[in-house]
Chain A
Amino acid sequence: MDPKDLRFTKSHEWIAPDGTVGISDHAQHEITDVVFVELPKTGRAVKAEEACAVVESVKAAFDIYAPVAGTIVATNEEGAKNPGLLNKSPYGEGWLYKIQMTTPADRES
């Protein structure tokens, strides 16, 4: 994913036009070595800015907020198994989940 196609939240998540969500390169750098990722269940409805995933380093746990309201339609199981992908490829293999937006207008919020 090319970062210039992504929209970024103030809390350093990104969302792609297709609803794929991840954390920014800055965020992965701040968190440093990701050792655990907790993903939402597919089918879960989330509100915008709702904490719906957790990314953990050795030192601390970070809540990841939904950039928009919608329904979780896919999660990155490979990323959960291999959390280092979030550091190696925050805009690619290190994505977190895919969200189907409730209203496309939410993206502008």
Chain B
Amino acid sequence: MTLTIQRTPFNFLHKQSGARLVEFAGWEMPVQFESVMAEHRAVRERAGVFDISHMGQVWVTGVGARATLQNLVTNDVSTLPVQRGLYALLCRDDGHVIDDLYIYCLEEERFLVIVNASRASVDIAWMSERLGPETQMMEQPQPAALAVQGPAAPGLIGLLSKEALLLSKNGVADLSLLDMEIVVARTGYTGEDGFELFGPAGHLFPVYEFLMKKGTSAGLVNCGLGARDTLRLEMGYRLYGHELDEDHSALESGLGWAVKLAKPSFIGRDALLKEKAAGSRQRLIGFRLKDRGVPREKCEIHFGGKPVGMVTSGTFSPSLGIGIGMAYVDNALMPKATETASPLTIQIHGRAVPAEIVPLPFYRKREV
């Protein structure tokens, strides 16, 4: 654990390009380059590149790697094919969420696990104490990562690797880009088609320079954490520290689809089975405002005039032009069966703004 602020390998370039930098999870990261709205639109309409080098990259390898991961996470790693990625949750024994992560199976005995920057040290400590036999764990040396997202992303990545275009959604492979070995995954956190590239800094650097040089004409722009947040929120993707935390269980977060209770065992299974039978204390909802305003984290949510929960993330949706957010509500105070029976309001600066529950994602891409 270090107290000094960490910088990604691309940090000095962000500074040169005039990005606004903020501290995020112990990292100095660009929050925006030009404007959150412009970057958001670029990703929805063309392409954006995000420096995601702050995310933890952990290699889990060995004969026992698959079994170790299968025991650690909620989703089913036993059936994860080689060259595929899987979203999963890391839970405590009580089913509460330590982190959400992506597991990429590169080879039968070689997995790359991507974890949140804010949780990397906690995750690594938790996992290393629970490694099964014949399993090794190693952090990526000098980690760097880029996300290239948006409808123009395949065209750009195709200039670097034709094989990358053979990957389907959630596909992953070790590919050679500019003669450098890079893990290329067809995944992202924006709801758009796109790729995430992982590797040591020296391998990613030429790729970033190439994209900056060749991408501009295709409308590729640098994007910061601001747009990353509005894009993921429009998709209803959870963010650790907001929708996910150790105060809430995997089921409360509404991610039951990534919790495979049929698995014979995994950490948190017993508690989650009990919760499933007894019912959850809270549930996560998505809402949109019916009036102008911007809901923010920690705004109270009222149902029939009484407080029933708290907003976990809120923003003005650039794609929809309205305020949207997610919130935890108490199941006893606001039963799901009657959630539309009374008016819902979000308390914003002392104003009760009418809202309605909407299914996630908030934003659906129009089929072309």
Residue numbers of A with Cβ under 8 A of B are 32-33, 35-36, 38, 54, 56-59, 61, 80
Contacts and interface: CB of A to CB of B under 8 A. Distances in A.
Contacts of A54: 349
Nearest to A59: B226
B294 A36 contact: yes
B264 to A, nearest CB: 45
B36 A33 contact: yes
A36 B226 CA distance: 17
Contacts, number: 40
B316 A32 contact: no
23 contacts: A32-B36, A32-B37, A33-B35, A33-B36, A33-B37, A35-B37, A35-B294, A35-B316, A36-B292, A36-B293, A36-B294, A38-B351, A56-B294, A56-B316, A58-B36, A58-B226, A58-B230, A58-B315, A58-B316, A59-B31, A59-B32, A59-B226, A61-B294
Contacts of A35: 37, 294, 316
B316 A36 contact: yes
Contacts of A56: 294, 316
Interface size class of chain B, counting residues whose CB lies under 8 Å from the partner chain: 10 to 19
A80 B35 CA distance: 20
Overall SS of chain B's interface: mixed
A21 to B, nearest CB: 19
Contacts of A61: 294, 296, 349
Nearest to A84: B37
Nearest to B315: A58
A35 B292 CA distance: 10
